[in-house]
Amino acid sequence: MARPLRYAGSLSCKDCHEEKHLSWSKSRHKTVNCETCHEAALKHTEDPAIKPTKPEGRKFCLLCHAKNISKPKNFPQVDPQGHNPGQNCAECHNPHE
Amino acid sequence: MNNLSRREFLGLSFKAAILMLGLGFPKKLLALTNLDGYKIEEHLWGYGIDVDKCIGCGRCVNACKVENKVPDDPFFFRTWVERYTEKKNDKVEVDSPNGGKDGFADIKDKKELIKSFFVPKMCNHCENPPCVQVCPVGATYKSKDGVVLVDPSYCIGCRYCIQACPYGARYLHPEKRVADKCTLCYHRITKGLQPACVEACPTQTRVFGNLKAAQSPISRFIRAKKILVLKPDLGTRPKIFYSGIDKEVR
């Protein structure tokens, strides 16, 4: 049953990235764990040279934040065509703050 | 040995059987359940899904596939997300493109729409699991801590369990040719970690914990919310507890 793990869990990120962890824990993204955006990172905890992914561009953010009638009404959503099309979300929004 | 009486023969056979069981059987049980420091009898795992929070981003589906090496084809899932769309004239549509893994495009035709919402689905880890009942070789079983598991070394791939599951939660693994399903990430939860889908969920739709601990997230969830289970009329007694589902959800 020694099945390999792939997700390390957010607590293990804190050991090295304390500053990021602190700003994240006060941010609006505080319910979103590190590996939700940065993908499974257990290998990174064993060997820091193996980098986890970093979502670039708009596509990943829009998975959650694209306007969709089926989503809960109080969830923050934008119309991708109307809200600065073509621009990277991270140019204006810091996901860790 | 020719003088062996019937009584002695039976006695010897019984001892031999006990010895064989003693050598083989407990090892398998130990390997599965007696993990370092994990006390199986202190746990009964339960899982909550708050439908009012689900945004259909599919991060859970993705995490499950990565963590458990679920084949990437769009018809093999241990967990998936369905979108329910209720229209006028009592029309209900359910779709789940690629299990919801890549998210959902917005509904274009909103004219007839009454409401629409996302429902994550997975194995319900029933207290009375029909899949366990029908397995002819005892490969599918319920662990002491309430998780329905498959032992792939016993499974003969007959697919009875896949047919028997009222929730469609099982599939035949295309390479291993054995039944495969959600294990609640048993390899993680017995180490004190959360299932990968719970770890990846950005909105805390998915809640997990020990039903035997009053302060665990799942016990709090059950106390705080109005809970339903899927297909309660079947008497399977699921341990996946839903909050906020509609009457149309099966």
Which of A54, A69, A87 is at the close of a domain?
Answer: A54
Q: What is the CATH number of the domain that holds B93?
A: 3.30.70.20
Whether B161 is in a domain gets the answer no
- What pLDDT is stored for residue B27 in this prediction? 44
Q: Are B220 and B205 in contact (CB under 8 A)?
A: no
- What pLDDT is stored for residue B22 in this prediction? 56
Task: Tell whether B1 and B95 lie within a shared domain.
Answer: no
Task: Tell whether A49 and A30 lie within a shared domain.
Answer: yes
Task: Tell whether A28 and A68 lie within a shared domain.
Answer: no
How many structural domains comprise chain A? 2
pLDDT digits (tens, 9 = 90+) for B98-109: 999 999 999 998
Whether B228 is in a domain gets the answer yes
User: What 3-state DSSP class applies to B145?
Assistant: coil
Whether A74 shows a pLDDT value over 50: the answer reads yes
B66–A68 C-beta distance less than 8 A: no
A68–B117 C-beta distance less than 8 A: no
Closest Cα to residue B158, out of B174, B135, B175, B125?
Answer: B135
Contacting residues for A58 by C-beta, under 8 A, at least 6 apart: A80, A87, A88, A89
Whether B21 shows a pLDDT value over 60: the answer reads no
B53–A40 C-beta distance less than 8 A: no
Using a pLDDT cut of 90, give the percent of chain B over it.
Answer: 82
Task: Tell whether A32 and A72 lie within a shared domain.
Answer: no
Strands B79-87 and B113-122: antiparallel
Whether B174 is in a domain gets the answer no
How many structural domains comprise chain B? 2
Whether B117 is in a domain gets the answer yes
A53 in contact with chain B, both atoms CB, cutoff 8 A: no
Task: Tell whether A10 and A36 lie within a shared domain.
Answer: yes
Task: Tell whether B123 and B2 lie within a shared domain.
Answer: no
Task: Tell whether B85 and B192 lie within a shared domain.
Answer: yes
A71 in contact with chain B, both atoms CB, cutoff 8 A: yes
Closest Cα to residue B250, out of B169, B146, B137?
Answer: B169
B180 vs B170: CA distance, rounded Å: 6
Whether B113 is in a domain gets the answer yes
From the CA of A7, how many Å to the nearest CA of chain B? Answer: 7
Task: Give me chain B's average pLDDT, please.
Answer: 92
Task: Tell whether A61 and A91 lie within a shared domain.
Answer: yes
Q: What is the CATH number of the domain that holds A41?
A: 1.10.287
Probe site for chain A from B30, B57, B246 (most A CB atoms < 10 A): B57
B35 vs B187: CA distance, rounded Å: 9
Task: Name the H helices within chain B.
Answer: 6-33, 59-68, 130-134, 160-164, 186-189, 196-200, 217-224
Whether B32 shows a pLDDT value over 70: the answer reads no
A3 vs B146: CA distance, rounded Å: 20
Whether B231 is in a domain gets the answer yes
Task: Tell whether A4 and A42 lie within a shared domain.
Answer: yes
Task: Tell whether A3 and A48 lie within a shared domain.
Answer: yes
- Residue A8, domain extent: 1-54
Whether B166 is in a domain gets the answer no
Whether A14 shows a pLDDT value over 50: the answer reads yes
From the CA of A31, how many Å to the nearest CA of chain B? Answer: 6
Task: Tell whether B29 and B51 lie within a shared domain.
Answer: no
- What pLDDT is stored for residue B16 in this prediction? 73
B124 vs B165: CA distance, rounded Å: 10
Task: Tell whether A59 and A49 lie within a shared domain.
Answer: no
Section A86-93 average pLDDT: 93
Task: Tell whether B102 and B207 lie within a shared domain.
Answer: yes
A40–B196 C-beta distance less than 8 A: yes
Angle at A12 between CA B48 and CA B55, to 5 degrees: 35
Task: Tell whether B23 and B87 lie within a shared domain.
Answer: no
Contacts B205 to A, Cβ<8 Å: none
Task: Tell whether A30 and A65 lie within a shared domain.
Answer: no
Strands B179-180 and B206-210: unpaired
B67–A6 C-beta distance less than 8 A: yes
- What pLDDT is stored for residue B14 in this prediction? 76
Strand partners, B140: B150
User: What 3-state DSSP class applies to B187?
Assistant: helix
- Within 10 A of B173 (CB to CB), how many other CB atoms are there? 19
pLDDT digits (tens, 9 = 90+) for B42-94: 999 999 999 999 999 999 999 999 999 999 999 999 999 999 999 998 899 99
Task: Tell whether B23 and B65 lie within a shared domain.
Answer: no
Whether B93 is in a domain gets the answer yes
Task: Tell whether B86 and B196 lie within a shared domain.
Answer: yes
* Among the partner residues A1, A10, A33, nearest to B32 by beta-carbon distance: A1
Task: Tell whether B109 and B193 lie within a shared domain.
Answer: yes
Nearest residue in chain B measured CA to CA from A63: B57
Residue with tokens 């955006």: A37
- What pLDDT is stored for residue A73 in this prediction? 95
Task: Tell whether A3 and A35 lie within a shared domain.
Answer: yes
- What pLDDT is stored for residue B87 in this prediction? 94
Task: Tell whether B8 and B67 lie within a shared domain.
Answer: no
Whether B164 shows a pLDDT value over 70: the answer reads yes
Task: Tell whether A42 and A83 lie within a shared domain.
Answer: no
Give, for B113, the enclosing helix (H) or strand (E): strand B113-122
Task: Tell whether A44 and A59 lie within a shared domain.
Answer: no
- What pLDDT is stored for residue A10 in this prediction? 83
* Residue B170 DSSP label: -
- What pLDDT is stored for residue B171 in this prediction? 98
Task: Tell whether B85 and B12 lie within a shared domain.
Answer: no
Section B221-228 average pLDDT: 97
Task: Tell whether B5 and B49 lie within a shared domain.
Answer: no
Section A43-50 average pLDDT: 95
- A41-50 CB contacts, 8 Å cutoff, 24+ apart: A41/A7, A41/A8, A41/A13, A42/A5, A42/A6, A42/A7, A42/A8, A43/A6, A44/A8, A45/A8, A45/A12, A45/A13, A48/A16
- Residue B9, domain extent: 1-34
User: What 3-state DSSP class applies to B120?
Assistant: strand
Give the pLDDT band (50/70/90) at residue A56.
confident
From the CA of A19, how many Å to the nearest CA of chain B? Answer: 21
